[in-house]
A and B are shown apart, each in its own frame.
Chain A
């Protein structure tokens, strides 16, 4: 099993450009999450999904959109990138276990917006 994979690993964007980050998992997990990691701030939840076709906002959703058209994929979009979106982005997935489920993380995407 590949687990959770993320594409691309690195990306540099100019302000105003758009891009989509792809997350894929092969563990048949119901739940998927997008986080951003910034120094000294831990991980903050951007958006999440509790099943195919569903999405919901997390703690810091502004400037991002997501889609979950297939159970195994969770896409994160930036329509008009800003320097404040320079960060490391992590995708995670988990079983349907309510509060006790372990999240499995991808290797991350390092995004720089100039």
Chain B
């Protein structure tokens, strides 16, 4: 069965520092991969998605992620953290069926310190 593992339930960085949120997936076929962000008391919104067009994917708010098949990883990065980036981040992989179902990781809470 497909699964997603996010390493680190909490990540803390200083404002201006590099943000790195880790995601590893298991899939027997090339997957579609997503990163979603959830701000406090809100629903999830899409940051970026990988659909096999390019291995380096750029998203909103300066985030990007690189698909590495050899490492089964899809880590999310941002060169310089802003206070407004504090949120919970979810990595997800698409189900193999054509139902659009997503399998989510456990989530990583990003704290940004001034």
Judging by beta carbons under 8 Å apart, are A43 and B90 in contact? yes
Cβ-closest 8 pairs across A and B: A105-B43, A42-B104, A99-B94, A98-B98, A105-B44, A100-B51, A43-B104, A42-B106
Q: Which residues of A contact B (CB under 8 A)?
A: 4, 31, 33, 40-45, 48, 50, 56, 58, 90, 92, 94, 96-103, 105-108
Most buried by A among B46, B49, B101: B101
B42 and A99 contacting across the interface, CB-CB below 8 Å = no
Binding site for A on B (CB under 8 A): 9, 32, 34, 36, 41-46, 49, 51, 90, 94-96, 98-102, 104-107
CB-CB under 8 A from A56, the residues of chain B are 99
Partner of B45, one of A33, A100, A105: A105
- Neighbouring A residues of B99 by C-beta, 8 Å: 31, 48, 50, 56
Q: Out of B98, B101, B106, which one reaches A40, CB within 8 Å?
A: B106
- The verdict on A102 contacting B42 (CB below 8 Å), with A31-B100, A42-B104 known, is no
Q: Which residues of the other chain, B, contact A100 by a CB distance below 8 angstroms?
A: 32, 49, 51, 94
Which residues of B have CB within 8 Å of A106?
A: 43
Contacts of B49 in A (CB 8 A): 100, 102
Closest B residue to A91 by beta carbon equals B43
Chain B residues with Cβ under 8 A from A103's Cβ? 44, 46, 100, 102
13 contacting pairs across A/B (C-beta < 8 A): A33-B100, A33-B101, A41-B106, A42-B104, A45-B101, A48-B100, A90-B43, A94-B100, A99-B32, A99-B95, A100-B32, A100-B51, A103-B100
Q: Which of B9, B95, B98 has the most CB of A within 10 A?
A: B98
Query: Does B106 lie within 8 Å of A99, measured CB to CB?
Result: no
- The 8 Å CB contact of A98, one of B34, B100, B102, is B100
